[in-house]
Amino acid sequence: MSSQSFSRRRFMKQSSLAATMPLFTVIPQSVQGANDRIEIGIIGCGSRGQNALMQEIHQFSSEENVAITAVCDVWRQHRESAAQKTLDWYDAKAKEFVQYRELLELPTIDAVAIATPDHLHATILYDAIEAGKDAYCEKPLARNLTELNRVVDRVKKSDRVVQLGTQLRSWPSFSGCRKAVQEGLLGPIIKAAQVRNSYEPYWNRFARPLQESDTDWKTFLGHVEYRPFDSDQHTAWYGYRDFTDGSISNLMCHFIDLVHYITGAKYPRCAATLCGNYAWKNQRTCPDSVHTLLEYPEGFMVSYTSSFGNGFGNYTRFWGTKGMIDAANWREPFMTGEGTDDPERIKEKQRVPDVETTPHMQNWLQCLRSREQPNADIDAGDQHAVACLLADAANIEERKMIFDPDERTFRPA
């Protein structure tokens, strides 16, 4: 199936399905007191859940007095491996669950970290808020506007602390870029662009044999249309349009969140996108090449492109009338006045000074006690999701699409 087979009809069908998902309701609870241990549940114990989120929580577990006491995954080996980690770390094995709603029913759980496939993020986050839990949710926040608006509204009506997994905004290097732009060192921003290429699609490395007896296929599918068990779709789901929007939602999402963070912009006005499969033609349906352009009402354009088949030419750049930032090295971006004759341009090439920040996960853990808003709050999640969904809608509709911030809808230009 080609990427274009993900048609308008399926696009609309997923939106309506998400709107009819059953609700999960539990009386909300308050986070424990400052002297008590905060108990966290992990929903989704695959590569991201175990190797990133669990490790990061454990890194700060003593300092912030938290512990992982419950884990949930449909895949038995992932679930058991995650539980074993908690035994090694805390001398107490976490409770194991296949169904995330059963984990949410635990009165001892104060917060959850969600690292499931993309198509389940919004539904599980909504249910976590309904259950009175704080949450850390991996990006993208949602896969269509219906579920996006629903979960954003629910979080805003609650008193829950929600952090989205766009962790680059918590890096000292990018906080330094934000400071430079906000102080006007680059002048008005006129363009931001990222090229993020690699030889092989990232989803290839996740594919592996899986027996249906070792997982709960129906729960994995969630609200996605049922089909017979498929090991490749389950393990390499990053490569299938039924479960993700490909590099737009997994790679561009990080960049567009940085654009919002660094420039202060919120929502794009319009987007145009081209996608295709040119190098990796197989049963997987996500495009191996993407190029999208977004225009912002603040007066600048954003370009994002990624191609799988050749990894040369990667960069991340911000252009202003007085200079530009080159962040090809994410840890050590630099500024230069090259390319402009503005009399106030940056005179010498220089490293962008870091601005010290709290690590992204630790920021969330601290906010569980302070009840302050974290670095990537629900507004940041809404903004990155709108940008990615708008870009993908332009691909699906094969024309430029406009976002109406008052109606919270898309329409053709």
Res 7: pLDDT: 44
Do 140 and 64 sit in the same domain of this protein? yes
Does 10 have pLDDT greater than 80?
A: no
Do 127 and 147 sit in the same domain of this protein? yes
pLDDT per residue over 133-144, tens digit each? 999 999 999 999
Mean residue pLDDT across the chain: 93
Domain that includes residue 175, residue range = 169-203+240-357+393-402
Do 193 and 123 sit in the same domain of this protein? no
For residue 322, being part of any structural domain is answered with: yes
The whole-angstrom separation of Cα 168 and Cα 293 is 21
Handedness of CA 19, 25, 27, 31 (dihedral sign): negative
For residue 8, being part of any structural domain is answered with: yes
* Nearest alpha carbon to residue 252 among 295, 306, 288: 306
Do 178 and 123 sit in the same domain of this protein? no
CATH number at residue 312: 3.30.360.10
Does 388 have pLDDT greater than 60?
A: yes
Res 31: pLDDT: 53
What is the identity of the amino acid at 113?
A
**Please, is 25 exposed, middle or buried when counting C-beta atoms within 10 Å of its C-beta (0-12, 13-18, 19+)?**
exposed
Res 35: pLDDT: 56
pLDDT-derived band of residue 13, with 50, 70 and 90 as boundaries?
Answer: very low
pLDDT per residue over 263-322, tens digit each? 999 999 999 999 999 999 999 999 999 999 999 999 999 999 999 999 999 999 999 999
What is the identity of the amino acid at 62?
S
The whole-angstrom separation of Cα 122 and Cα 103 is 17
Domain count, the chain: 2
Structure tokens given for 146: 């219906």
For residue 218, being part of any structural domain is answered with: no
CA distances from 392 to 52, 382, 397 (A): 27, 15, 9
Do 325 and 368 sit in the same domain of this protein? no
Do 198 and 319 sit in the same domain of this protein? yes
Cβ–Cβ < 8 Å for 267, 387: yes
pLDDT per residue over 208-263, tens digit each? 999 999 999 999 999 999 999 999 999 999 999 999 999 999 999 999 999 999 99
Span 62-73, mean pLDDT? 98
pLDDT per residue over 164-223, tens digit each? 999 999 999 999 999 999 999 999 999 999 999 999 999 999 999 999 999 999 999 999
Res 243: pLDDT: 98
Span 61-81, mean pLDDT? 98
